[in-house]
Structure 1
Amino acid sequence: MFLNHALSGSAFLRTPMPLLATVEAENSPAILSGVLLSLVVIYLASKIGEEVSKRLDFPPVLGSLIAGVIVGVSALNLIVFPEGGISADDSNLMTILQWFNHLSPAALTYVFESQSEVISVLAEIGVIILLFEIGLESNLQQLKEVGIQATVVACVGVAVPFAAGTGGLMAIFHVPAIPAIFAGAALTATSIGITSKVLSELGQLKSKEGQIIVGAAVIDDVLGIIVLAVVASLAKTGEIDVFNVVYLILGATAFLLGSILLGGLFNKTFTKIVENLETRGSVIIPAFIFAFFMAFIGNAIHLEAILGAFAAGLVLDETDASNELDELIRPIADILVPIFFVTVGARADLRVLNPAVPENRAGLLIAVFLIVVAILGKIVTGWAVFGQPGINRWAIGVGMIPRGEVGLVFAGIGSASGVLSKPLEVSIIIMVILTTFLAPPFLRVAFGDSGHPPTDEEDVSVKMGESQSAS
């Protein structure tokens, strides 16, 4: 149980078991109150942030992230976690809870750790559902049709920022290997949702450049998930073993490809099951059983649960029930995914980049370095296109810049694993924010902001991207 896990390393481990059971029973109502109050703050912050972001013509997911920063350790101290020396006394939400429940200091610490664990578990489920939804939206047929141009662009867009980011952090800033690899991996992501939305607004979605950008972004997501599975597994072992790295890369690739190949057999079984069920949830419940089972398998073979969820989404996208499933999963994602994004922002302590504090300046330089690599590492992808005279290479490169929700997944998992230092974690989040903010105006400039209004066909084509960016 997560309550017992939350007690790990605390004084409660030395409490006799009958007394421990009594303590749990006495404080269960307070724990539930803490969880409910946390969810009120999270949902309120997320919705306000998304609405403000939408009205400013930015992706709603950025609003959730920034709202998380505001309610988190950087500002209001409402949603904080017992990491890095943070105690119950630092949580303003616990102060409110104490006012209602009159808890002893020991009981307040117990409640704080327990409710934090519950929120963390909900956030992890949220990211699993997010990757399942992304898998559902990443059309396999589109992956097969984008061609070699988009594949080359995607590979360059992953390899260059990863190598430059990892090598630069180790050589210039002397960051240890595993945190540097994790940060370099975070630079590989591309948000198809944000880019496709802008392309549609400019009427460039069906242009040669637009097709290459969208196709490369889809492949980029697949490569990024594999990279994430590998580096997250490395973070668990705490060391780099060449044999283990090869196993993880081959294992992640084989798991993903094997899931897709076997998906054809499963699709018929899934369809028959759905057709024979007569009660509520006849589509969504079997889909979640499959998604969570695949996530379990991914985790059990020392890869990542999110890789299994992503593979499950790719497989179920090929079924006859995929359109219905797309609609059914959105309200569930609307409930759980904001918890993930808000907690990512809440964990980020922006104060560690305050230049007025001398020891913070190194972290600020890391943030600047990551931003530069993030931008230049994607711009060069435009020059990876070959055999296309007169193509707008700047537009292709700029279209690959925004990290969006995928970059936040890297930051969130890196934070949860404990492999990232606070300055490095915050630097990654700032990189995600700035690249996502900068990409839309840069893309408009690259295309000359002279596109025509989107056609109905383009509106339909961009639905996939908008669904992800609005998650």
Structure 2
Amino acid sequence: MIFSEPIVNSVTWVTSLTHGLQPTLLATATEAENAPIVLTGVLLSLVVIYLASKIGGELSRMMDLPPVLGELLGGVVVGASALHLVVFPDSGAIASDSLIMTILQFINNLTPDSVTSIFQSQSEAISILAELGVIILLFEIGLESDLKELTKVGYQAAVVAFVGVTVPFAAGTAGLMFFFHTPAIPAIFAGAALTATSIGITSKVLSELGQLKSREGQIIVGAAVIDDILGIIVLAVVASLAKTGEVDVFNVIYLIVSATVFLIGSILLGKFFNQSFVAVANKLQTRGNLVIPAFIFAFFMAFLGNAIHLEAILGAFAAGLVLDETDKRKELDQQVKPIADILVPIFFVTVGAKVDLGVLNPIVPENREGLIIATFLIVVAIIGKVVTGWSVFGQAGINRLAVGVGMIPRGEVGLVFAGIGAASGVLDKPLQAAMIIMVILTTFLAPPLLRFAFKQSVEPQETIEPADVIG
């Protein structure tokens, strides 16, 4: 029998479709089988994360250091640097590097392919929980901030942020090109990483020190928010350079306009939204009548931030600022805290877990060059942010050292820069290692330095000018 061409094509299409579906169906079936094991891995990871968080936080408190530093160090211990209990594929780890995956493989007699699939799924789940943690942290910080005070120091925060971006970027880029003969694009990428400020880490330390609502605290938080926006714009520029050698001007303009409209629009929204929010909360009669609408608003604002290519944390922070003006703020703040206590530690421990202290090993030849470059980057990273405190003007009795030190930690933001640079192939191994070392040390040095800076100013001013300390 001779088939006509349309029929032959149809049979071929159906056959190829059937063959194509078989691996897909098998993969889906395998994923369904592995789902309970993925959950087991997530639960075991959370046990490790919470233990590291509490032990680290308590030890840090006993040594009169901010607990967040203990959480970060707890993450380092259980992460890629030591115990390998909590590791992530985006940091270069594979399934066999994870001790938790080894345990699951032994218990369930898993194939290597299944272990890899489970490792990726489990890591994604923990990463999502960590992202939720930092979103809730910034929402909580927004609630604890004072919008009126923040707007009062808004111009000061903008100046601090601008100086904190331009000085380290210019010094880092020029220094790498002049002293180390680094090519232009890698030098620009490393200089861009120096502009970052981790608003999550800084704001958490300020909250723990009781300085979040001080003038210094409000300037630091405001500057860190603006710094984050400027960092996104800088990252867009250097990413364009890395890919094409040219800057996408339209994308940069879009980011500037969208960021400005988003933040100003969020602040203006507060004046109209507050009464409606309270009215809705009062009409609801079931559990969560206040906290659920608040999280709906916070997550929606975080979604908007992501949708316009900004950061979800900026949207969550803006939502907190808006709800800070409502009559229900204190009650809402108390209801948000237990949720933050559950999710925020996941973020800090995972930040620490992704840090690989192996880059500090001078025995490795590549690390030696990296350590020399890192020394330069660390000096620029610290001085480039500390000088921002002296850009504050018109503020009598302001603690300029505290403002500058508060801008130092690069945290997860710096790791994002290093990760994108490595993925693009722009950075060689020594420069990549140097950037990671800079991120590690600035992240861990900032909390104790910030406490020291505030102690230096609080003790004498408590007896002379207490009003200035309170702000």
- TM-score if structure 1 supplies the norm length? 0.81
Aligned residues: 436
Change (3 A) 1:181 1:57: same
Q: Distance in 1 between matches of 2:99 and 2:198?
A: 37
User: After the TM superposition, which residues 260-279 of structure 1 pair with which residues of structure 2 at under 5 Å, given as runs?
Assistant: 260-279=267-286
User: After the TM superposition, which residues 14-413 of structure 1 pair with which residues of structure 2 at under 5 Å, given as runs?
Assistant: 16-83=23-90, 85-146=92-153, 152-153=159-160, 155-169=162-176, 172=180, 173-174=182-183, 176=186, 179-180=189-190, 182-187=192-197, 191=202, 194=205, 211=215, 213-231=216-234, 240-386=247-393, 395-403=399-407, 407-411=410-414, 413=416
Which is further off, 36-45 or 296-305?
A: 296-305
Q: Distance in 1 between matches of 2:128 and 2:238?
A: 19
Change (3 A) 1:423 1:375: closer
C-alpha displacement at 1:293, in angstroms? Answer: 1.1
C-alpha displacement at 1:170, in angstroms? Answer: 5.9
Q: Is the 8 A contact 1:126 1:337 kept in 2?
A: yes
Amino acid at match of 1:107: S
Change (3 A) 1:258 1:75: same
Change (3 A) 1:62 1:167: farther
Change (3 A) 1:144 1:60: same
Change (3 A) 1:101 1:226: same
Q: Is the 8 A contact 2:49 2:346 kept in 1?
A: yes
Amino acid at match of 2:193: A
Find out whether 1:429 has 2:440 as its counterpart.
yes
C-alpha displacement at 1:158, in angstroms? Answer: 4.6
Question: Could you tell me which residue of structure 2 aligns to residue 466 of structure 1?
Answer: none
Partner SS, residue 16 of structure 1: helix
Partner SS, residue 21 of structure 1: helix
C-alpha displacement at 1:416, in angstroms? Answer: 6.9
Q: Distance in 2 between matches of 1:298 and 1:219?
A: 17
C-alpha displacement at 1:86, in angstroms? Answer: 2.4
C-alpha displacement at 1:76, in angstroms? Answer: 0.6
Amino acid at match of 1:397: L
Identity %: 53
Residues 164-210 of structure 1, C-alpha deviations (whole Å, 9 max, x = no match) = 3455456655462674354122258693554686697xxxx99xxx7
Q: Is the 8 A contact 1:27 1:107 kept in 2?
A: yes
Q: Is the 8 A contact 1:136 1:317 kept in 2?
A: yes
Question: Could you tell me which residue of structure 1 aligns to residue 7 of structure 2?
Answer: none
Amino acid at match of 1:89: S
Amino acid at match of 1:75: A
Q: Distance in 1 between matches of 2:39 and 2:210?
A: 45
- TM-score if structure 2 supplies the norm length? 0.81
Q: Distance in 1 between matches of 2:45 and 2:144?
A: 30
Change (3 A) 1:235 1:316: farther
Q: Is the 8 A contact 1:298 1:304 kept in 2?
A: yes
Residues 89-125 of structure 1, C-alpha deviations (whole Å, 9 max, x = no match) = 1111111112211111221111111111111111111
Q: Structure 2 unaligned runs (5+)?
A: 1-19, 424-431
Change (3 A) 1:409 1:377: same
Q: Is the 8 A contact 1:195 1:399 kept in 2?
A: no
Change (3 A) 1:228 1:339: farther
Change (3 A) 1:138 1:185: farther
Q: Distance in 1 between matches of 2:233 and 2:335?
A: 31
Residues 243-290 of structure 1, C-alpha deviations (whole Å, 9 max, x = no match) = 322321221121111111122112222111111100011111111111
Which is further off, 230-239 or 216-225?
A: 230-239
Q: Distance in 1 between matches of 2:164 and 2:393?
A: 15
Q: Distance in 1 between matches of 2:422 and 2:462?
A: 46
Change (3 A) 1:426 1:21: same
CA RMSD of aligned residues (A): 3.5
Amino acid at match of 1:227: L
C-alpha displacement at 1:449, in angstroms? Answer: 5.4
Q: Structure 1 unaligned runs (5+)?
A: 1-12, 463-471
Partner SS, residue 269 of structure 1: helix
